[in-house]
Amino acid sequence: MEQQIYLFGLSHKTAAIEIREKFALNGFEPLSHGLMEDQGPVQEALVLSTCNRVEILCVSSEVKEAVQDKALTAWAEFCGQDRDTLEKHVYFYSGLEAVKHLFSVAASLDSMVLGEPQILGQLKDAYRKAVQEKTAGVIINRLLHKSFSAAKRIRTETAVSSSAVSISYAAVELAKKIFGELSDQKAMLIGAGEMAELAALHLLNSGLKDIMVANRTPARAQELAQRFNGQAMCMEKMLENLPQADIVISSTGASGIIISAAQVREILKKRKHRPIFFIDIAVPRDIDARVNMLDNVYLYDIDDLKEVVEENLAGRREEAARAAEIVDIEVEKFSDWLRALDLSPTIVDLLNRGEILARRELRKSLRSLGPDVSADTTRVVEQMALSLVRKLYHEPIVFLKRRAREEGSAQKFIDLARRIFNLDDEQVPPDAHQNRKRNNP
């Protein structure tokens, strides 16, 4: 069976936060958790785990049932959860449907916040990790790079990202609805990742002046606090300083609860029961849901932010339709490349490219020789040009045929040949490899 692309996942559309946090795959590595054992069903894999979605992308020569059994079993076992529960919330795509879904995810067309920019960075991080772990091969490499370029094209050619809000922005908007003016409030950010950084930015833009940052890595907390003229602290000092905070935005990568209801009850006493507002945008959640049962405590999780997000959505739905058309075009291009990974189309493309170049140069040469060139001379020069092309491509084609007989290496060399001779007519900007040069001096 030819290699197929499979994608299994659950998202904010199919699973509530109570389910998503149980099946988050932070720290899951396909290679070390049995998904890519020797002679196993999966040859390439990538795992994307964010607050709103968890997805496993696979390339396999096996039928769906074999890959699904392996992937879902490994997923449930890693999370210590029941596989039947997982299956109730999982969606599945294969082939070009999987490609289309991934392109839509990269372009933020499937996000809770339509057009938000964070998902593309999260997908790039997931790809970077797959490359480091050597679980990304020819197909995933190409698929992810095409998803990045499709997302860039959609951002450039449509306004789907215009006025898009982030989860952090929605959280701050919610805080403004609770408190009105934020200038007299004090906030604490727990976690110093991108979400926290964005939240700090939006808080300051909303008039808040006093920010504390607690993080497991003190240096990162210090860096973020300095940038926003705030106060940094290590995570061990978080509870001690929490009574000072009116607004708490938590977005850590912790695997479980870091603030319990009992701890908040003690904090309220120290605050003399002044209201405190918690926004928990972490998955799994950082704050015990029972906190919401305490008087003068307002706790919102990421699913509660949907209302704020919806207010911002209407103006971008029309642009999303245009973006979906671009996704369809890019999927078709990827489909062409996928078909070309068979040897025969690549040989045909090589010879066609050579013949086009030969005939182009032949016309130039005949023009320079003038109008008196005879038909016999024209025919001889034409035969020579085409013969040179066939001889020039003979050795590369023999090499590719030889590699095609060696299982596992054919696609790599066919893909390399297509890139060397630019058989897919890709436009490569002059600065495309600057980062690679910088990282590999």
Active site residue ranges: 51
332-336, long-range: CB within 8 Å, 24+ apart, which pairs? 333/146, 333/424, 334/96, 334/99, 334/142, 334/143, 334/146, 335/96, 335/99, 336/424
| Three-class DSSP category at 94 | strand
DSSP bridge partners of 53: 11
- Sheet order of strands, 42-49 included: 42-49, 53-60, 4-11, 91-94
Q: Which of 142, 199, 157, 171 is nearest to 412 (CA)?
A: 142
- For residues 287 and 293, give the distance between their C-alpha atoms in angstroms, rounded to a whole number: 13
φ, ψ for residue 278 (rounded to 5)? -105, 130
* Chain Cα centroid distance, residue 425: 25
Query: Nearest Cα to 279, choosing from 360, 361, 172?
Result: 172
Number of H helices, E strands in the chain: 17, 10
Task: Please tell me the distance from the alpha carbon of residue 174 to that of residue 300, in angstroms, as a whole number.
Answer: 9
Per the structure block, which two tokens stand in for 85?
A: 């529960």
Question: At a CB cut-off of 8 Å and minimum separation 6, what does 413 contact?
Answer: 399, 400, 403
8 A C-beta contact, residue 86 and residue 23: yes
